[in-house]
Amino acid sequence: MDRESNAKHSVLELMLLDASAEPMDLPLSLLEDITNGFSHDQQIGSGGFAVLYKGILGKVTIAVKKLSKTFDNHEKQFHEEVSCLMKAKHKNIVRFLGYCSDTRGKMVAFEGKLVMADVRQRLLCFEYLPRGSLDKYIAGSSYVLQWKESYQIIKEICEGLHYLHVERRIVHLDLKPTNILLDCNMVPKIADFGLSRRFCEKQSQILTAEVKGTLGYMAPEFVNNGQITFKSDIYSLGIIITEILTRQRGYRDVEDVLDIWRNRLQESQREIHLEQVRVCTEIAKECSDYNPANRPAIQDIINRLDETESVGGSIETRGSTLSVAQEEKDPSEQHQWTPKVPGEASDEDCRMEVGTILMKRYEIGRLIAQGDLAKVYYAQNLTSEQDVAIKMIDKDKVSSVELMVRIKREMTLMNLLGHPNVLKLVEVMASKSKLYFVLEYPKGGDLSTKIVTGGLHEDAARKYFRQLISAVEYCHSQGVYHRNLNLENILLDENGNLKISDFGLSVLPGSREDGLFHYPCGTPAYVAPEVLSWRGYAGAKVDIWSCGVILFVLVAGYLPFQGTDATDLFNKISLGKYECPSWISVKLKDILCKILDLDPSTRASVSSIKASAWYRNHIEVKACKGEATTSETTECSMLSKGKTKCSNSVGNQAPSSFTHSNAVGVISLSVKFYLSNLSEKKYGLWENKFTARLPAETLFARINELAEQLKLKVKKKENGILKLVASEEGMGRLELDAEVFELAPSFLLVEIKITNGDKEYELQMKVKDAVRLIFKDMVWAWQDDSHSQQPQFTLFR
C-alpha cells in the first residue's frame, strides 16, 4: 500500500470515530487492501449493477460497493449517487464514508491492434450494518418482528424519508425492504441512492423516458408515464408498511390486520398497540392509492404517528416514548397457530425417516423434494397400499400469520376442487409440531421433463394442452383462479395424464367493484402483461395467458419471452414480443396469437380455444376413428343453475355434514376462511360473511337490531332472504339482503350485502361498521370480502 493509501487508511479509521467527519475520496489501492483484492471470500452481496464487499479496517468493518457497470451512460448515475450521498446525513440514512473514481490506461487488443483503453473503477464506501436488510425479517424469516420493533422501524423509515424530502429535496425512487438496512439495535437506515433524483427549490416533478426501479414498489404514474414526484416514494412507503404489518404486499382491510396482531399482543397493552396498528394500516392504504394526489405528505404521516404516542402509558425506546403500558411478551410466549385436527399425534417431533410409520397409516419412503417451508416424501397407505406424496410443514417455520393464511387457503381450495386433471388432496393430518398434506402421488414428474430434449410433436402437445384447458375451465367454473400456472406446477401421473398443483397463490373472485385483482403475483416468464400494468386484471384472463405460454414451450422447447434481466423480460412481455418457430403449423400459430393477445378483452376465452381448428383437429380425427379416450375427452359443462358438472369428478359430491367433516373441513371453518361455495355467488355493492354458533332466533333478533340502527325495515322475501329496506326517515334508497345458512345445529353462515343504494365508500363503511358492532360478540369467524385481495408472494422479490 503506497504512502497516500497509508494516510487515508488512518484518516478512514478516525472517520469512523467521528460522526461529523465528511466523506472523502479514497485511493483504489486502499480499497483493494482492506477487501483482500476484492476477494470472493469478502463478498457479502451482489446485484445487477454492483457487488458488495466487506472491508476490514483494523478492528472495524466497513462495506465497499464496487460498481460492475462503468460505461459512459452509468457515469452520470454514479455522479448523481455520490452527490446525493454527500448531502444525506441522518441517523436513518446509511452513513457514507467515501468514494473512489479511478481511471487508468491499459493496453488492449482492438481490431487486430493494441490500443490504450481507459479502465474505470467506481466504488462507494459505507458503514457496515451487521443485521442486513429489512426483507430478511418480513419475508419467510423464522424471526418475527414484535410490535415495538415493527412500529419503531416504520416510524424511523418515515423520519429518514422526511429528511430526504424536506431537508434535501431528494426522491429516493427505489425504496424497498432490500434497500433498508438494520444496525445492531434494529435501527433502519435507507440505502442505495443509485436511482435517486434531486429537485431544485421550486421543482415539483420530473418527467423521464427512462423508467428504472423495482416493480411492485414503483408508483403507477412512474411506471406508466415516467412521472417522478415526492409521492413516488410515498407509494413505495405504503407497500413497505403493509409488508411490515402483514409480511406480504397488497391492500389489506384494517380489521384483517388488527386480527393478525390481536393475538400477538399482551392483554394489558393490546388496546393501545392495536390503535397504532390501525393507524399504520390506514396510512399504508392511503400511501398506496393509485392516484398520487390522494397520498399523504411525509410530514402528515409523521404527525399521525406522533398522535398515537400521546395516549396511555410509556416504555423506553430509542430516543422516544411509545404509548404502551409495559414490555411485550417474549417471542417464545406469543400465540402460536396450533390447528386442532382429528388424529393429532402426541409426539412432539415425528421424525421422517425411510420406514417410519406416520399416524399408524402411512409408511414413509424417500424424500422427493425440499423447500424453505416444507419437505415432500413418498409414502404408502398401510391399508390400501395407495402411493401418496406427503408434504410436511414445520409449524415453527410458519409463525407468520400470512403464511398460515396461504397454507389454509391452499387446503380449502384443493378440498373444493375435484377434477381428473387437478392434483387431489387426500387428507390433512397434524402433530404438535408438524402439519401434513397427504396428496395423490404423480409418478411422472412435472411437465418440464417432457421438453428437456426439445419441443414436442403437436399431437403430443395437444393432448396435454386439452387436459390443461379442461382443468382450467373447471377451476374457473368453481370461481378459482390459479394465477401461477407454469410447467413446474403441472405434474404427470404414470399414464401421462396432467395434474395441476400448487394453489398457494390461487384466489376466489375479486371483491372490488370492478371485480379485478390489483397486485402482481406469479412466475415472471408466465405472467400476463396486464399484471405488470397495475391497472387491475381478471383472474381468468391471466390464467389463459399462462396456458398460452405453456403451449408455446411445449411445441418450441423454449419460453416465448426471455430477457437479460427482469426489466428486459417484463418489457418484452408488455410489448408482446415473441417469434414462433418455423416448424409449427399455421393453425397453431393462429391460436397462439389469439391467446397471447396483449388486450385481455380480445384475448381468446376457453370456449373460443376449444372451438379453434388446431384444438379440435385431433378430437375430430379420433372421433372419426372411434378411438377417443376418457382421459383425453374430459370436459366441463355448465348446468342450468350455474353449477358445474365434470366427468370423473368428485366435485359434485354433496358436502359432508359439519359433525362428520375431516381435517380440512375443520381448518376451513377457522378464522378468516371463505365458505362461499355453500351458496350461489351473487355480487352486490358490498357484502360481508361470518359464521356464528347460536340459535337462529337469536341471530334474527340481531338482524332486527341492525335494521333499527340503520333506520331500515325488515321484510321477508319468498326465497327466505331477509330484505332490509329504507324507511321514510332512513338512509335514502339503501337496501340490504341478509341470508342465513345452517351448516349444523346452531352453527350458521350469515351473508349480508348491499343490493341497492349509494356506492360511496363512506356509506359502505357505515354499513360495515354497523354489522361488526351488532354481531361482534357472537361471531365465530369473519369470512370477509377482503380475502379475495390475496397475498402477492413470488413476483418481484
- Is there a contact between 237 and 217 (Cβ–Cβ < 8 Å)? no
Q: Cell numbers at residue 311, please?
A: 395516549
DSSP 8-class letter at 106: E
For the chain, state the CA radius of gyration: 29
What single-letter amino acid sits at 698?
Answer: T
What single-letter amino acid sits at 278?
Answer: R
DSSP 8-class letter at 657: P
Dihedral pair phi/psi, residue 171, rounded to 5°: -100, 120
Query: 682 a known binding residue?
Result: no
Q: Give the helix ranges, DSSP H, for 16-71.
A: 28-34
Dihedral pair phi/psi, residue 358, rounded to 5°: -100, 120
- Is there a contact between 328 and 147 (Cβ–Cβ < 8 Å)? yes
Question: What is the rounded distance in angstroms from the CA atom of residue 403 to the CA atom of residue 354?
Answer: 28
Q: How many residues are recorded in the chain?
A: 797
Question: What is the rounded distance in angstroms from the CA atom of residue 572 to the CA atom of residue 601?
Answer: 20
Task: Find how far residue 572's CA is from the centre of its chain.
Answer: 23
Question: What is the rounded distance in angstroms from the CA atom of residue 164 to the CA atom of residue 173?
Answer: 11
Per DSSP, what are the bridge partners of residue 645? Answer: 637
Task: Find how far residue 119's CA is from the centre of its chain.
Answer: 42
Q: Distances in Å between the alpha carbon of 260 and those of 277, 337, 394, 402?
A: 10, 11, 20, 8
Helices and strands, counts by H and E, the chain: 22, 30
- Is there a contact between 138 and 145 (Cβ–Cβ < 8 Å)? yes
- Is there a contact between 107 and 233 (Cβ–Cβ < 8 Å)? no
Residue for cell digits 473503477? 121
Question: What is the rounded distance in angstroms from the CA atom of residue 669 to the CA atom of residue 691?
Answer: 8
Q: Give the helix ranges, DSSP H, for 288-400.
A: 298-308
The CA-CA-CA angle for residues 326, 328, 329, to 5°, reads: 125
Cβ neighbourhood burial of 582 (10 Å; 0-12, 13-18, 19+):
exposed
Helix, strand, coil % in the chain, rounded to nearest 5: 40, 20, 40
Per DSSP, what are the bridge partners of residue 777? Answer: none
DSSP 8-class letter at 584: S
The CA-CA-CA angle for residues 679, 784, 681, to 5°, reads: 25
Question: What is the rounded distance in angstroms from the CA atom of residue 188 to the CA atom of residue 7?
Answer: 32
Question: What is the rounded distance in angstroms from the CA atom of residue 273 to the CA atom of residue 592?
Answer: 54
CB atoms within 10 A of CB 513: 11
- Is there a contact between 27 and 4 (Cβ–Cβ < 8 Å)? yes
The binding site comprises: 66
The binding site for ATP comprises: 66
